[in-house]
């Protein structure tokens, strides 16, 4: 695979990230790769004129690869933009080991060199969730999520009441703080904190996890990712739908949310030594023995 046009994305408010991005940009330019840097206007003064600077969407249709420098949260944002263009993403982690940003910052040049020059990498495909908000017969909002779609109480703070159906079959009525619809990628995020299962990224399923349900008999549910899930808001209350915790929309009484697997999948690039279970061990200290 040839990577000739690469975009670099990161939170450029951090001096450390700016330095890493500029260092990586210089390296990529030296080996003949066209470099684009996703950058807000206030950062332009720090960047050499030989690099194209702007918004990722300005040139997303010509890119061969996106390198995210930062953390998993930045990948979530980039993924929703890149998935329709089938552009692979690779992550360079700035802090602790991430679940998706798995090249260490101090090994950045070597790790990226192995990928873009030597074509030594592991490609992995991740599913996304599409959620469409129906008000009557009209779709009033829709978006996708790599981690999760969360529907929860708004500013007032009261519990919300809703009905859930899967593939046209009624499942339950529930009163709770909300509900999480998680992909396998998102199973180690908010879903996990709410008591959901850890799902291997290749698992063809989605999980449905209640958030502090009124009835303690309500438990997480795992369904096929070929399923269509229907959420109906059954009580007037301040309620919001969130996508990866980065965008949201207000729901009203009788709104229906239809959730299903997004037809496009995200392509992640990992170094050849990538191992999902090793990542879990490091993140959760599973390697430690109890003395």
Active site residue 106: no
Q: Topology of domain 129-261, per CATH?
A: Tumour Suppressor Smad4 (2.60.200)
Q: How many CB atoms lie within 10 A of CB 142?
A: 14
Spans of the chain, pLDDT less than 70: 1, 12-14, 40-48, 95-97, 288-291
**What's this model's pTM, rounded to 2 decimal places?**
0.93
Q: Topology of domain 5-126+265-284, per CATH?
A: Rossmann fold (3.40.50)
pLDDT score recorded for residue 19: 83
pLDDT score recorded for residue 54: 84
pLDDT score recorded for residue 113: 95
pLDDT score recorded for residue 99: 86
Strands 239-243 and 65-70, bridge-based pairing: unpaired
Catalytic residue among 38, 72, 102, 244: 72
Q: What is the CA radius of gyration of the chain?
A: 21
**pLDDT, tens digit, for every residue of 4-29?**
999 999 876 667 788 888 899 999 99
CA distances from 261 to 77, 84, 101, 283 (A): 18, 14, 23, 27
Listed by start position, the domains of the chain span: 5-126+265-284, 129-261
Instruction: Assess contact for 63 and 37: CB atoms under 8 A.
Output: no
pLDDT score recorded for residue 284: 85
């Amino acid at each position: 695979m040839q990577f000739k046009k690469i975009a670099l994305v990161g939170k450029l408010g951090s001096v450390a990230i700016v330095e890493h991005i500029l260092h990586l940009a210089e390296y990529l330019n030296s080996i003949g790769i066209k470099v684009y840097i996703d950058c807000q206007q206030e950062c332009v003064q720090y960047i050499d004129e030989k690099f194209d600077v702007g918004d990722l969407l300005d040139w997303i249709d010509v890119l061969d690869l996106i390198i995210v420098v930062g953390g998993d949260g930045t990948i979530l944002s980039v993924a929703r933009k890149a998935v329709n263009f089938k552009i692979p993403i690779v992550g360079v982690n700035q802090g602790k080991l991430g679940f998706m940003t798995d090249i260490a910052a101090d090994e950045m040049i070597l790790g990226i060199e192995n990928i873009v020059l030597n074509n030594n990498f592991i490609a992995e495909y991740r599913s996304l969730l599409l959620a469409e908000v129906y008000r009557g017969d009209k779709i009033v909002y829709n978006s996708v999520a790599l981690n999760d779609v969360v529907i929860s109480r708004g500013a007032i703070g009261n519990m919300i009441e809703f009905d859930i159906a899967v593939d046209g079959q009624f499942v339950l009525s529930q009163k709770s703080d909300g509900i999480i619809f998680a992909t396998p990628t998102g199973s180690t995020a908010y879903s996990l904190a709410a008591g959901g299962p850890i799902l291997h990224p290749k698992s063809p399923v989605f999980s449905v996890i209640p958030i502090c349900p009124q009835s303690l008999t309500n438990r997480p549910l795992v369904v096929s990712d070929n399923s269509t899930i229907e959420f109906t808001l059954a009580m007037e209350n301040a309620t919001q739908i969130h996508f990866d915790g980065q965008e949201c929309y207000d729901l009203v009484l009788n709104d229906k949310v239809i959730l299903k697997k997004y037809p496009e999948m995200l392509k992640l690039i990992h170094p050849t030594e990538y191992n999902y279970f090793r990542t879990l061990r490091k993140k959760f200290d599973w390697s430690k023995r109890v003395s």
